[in-house]
Structure 1
């Protein structure tokens, strides 16, 4: 008889089927002008997590929230293993929820509990993390917003990274997704608050 795969949690109370890492490096802008300084390096780290609430409604989502800090810490560890000592100046987060789940289930993995250890891994972050998400099928793509980690209103760091995940999310999974960038857009020239002028705290989420 074939062996039925275990559905028992295998990481901090979660069942993770697959981890993803996506890296891109942009050396010139869309019109071919070479980078004004270092290239833009963007990294996406994602995990396909079994959804314990798939097919059901529950007012209590603690099974997703309670240990999400450990999931966030692992995202940070994997980011550093991928990007090394390069600085991280922008971040964003997203979720893709399989068809048997709710968008709310994905958001439960993206609260401040999960975000704080990610901030720690990148050397701190004062601004709230821009976020998006949706319900989608395997292979769905998602545009993850990016903003400066210390001040949401640094216009040069408004950016996006697009990712897709081959065979995820399955109907009973959640893809929890984090994105990072090492600098703002190449040749950003629209004025506004500069990163060097950032003072204060835009709040956390």
Structure 2
């Protein structure tokens, strides 16, 4: 099995994995604007082995998100079914598929909070809609109520150059797949972590400086 840190560069990661192993297959997916750990199986046997762990919810997944507002979550469980709509977004609905996510606050800033997210199920946009339901939309995730983070919000005396328009500190939502833990075919448990990519790290650094 191999892991890659996604979204830092615009590349086809499956094609990249196939350069190392012709039979490589992606074992799960990340949303388009989510960075972090992805697992690829090098052969069909490994693919089946890890896919079964995902299906039986035996893979431990941890995501980090910067969200709007101050929140003090401690193993906060959101158990709310998710329904995929025709327009490509999701909503909470009793007609949807079961979905559970645990949330724990890691660090609070002046107007934001860094959250550890532990999804039990793997529904489309699960973390995003569950955080939104708590009034803690992911920064930059305008589809689910998040607001972009501007340096002018954080830095006193910030001056924008004339005739320029201020850009968000992150040009995507602040969601990062931080780690994956699963069993190899030989039964050995492995944990893989992805460091923050440049944009996520820069956002957290600016939030630290402004606190």
TM-score for both structures, normalised by structure 2: 0.25
TM-score for both structures, normalised by structure 1: 0.26
Which structure exhibits the higher relative contact order, with contacts defined as CA atoms closer than 8 Å and separated by 6 or more residues? 1
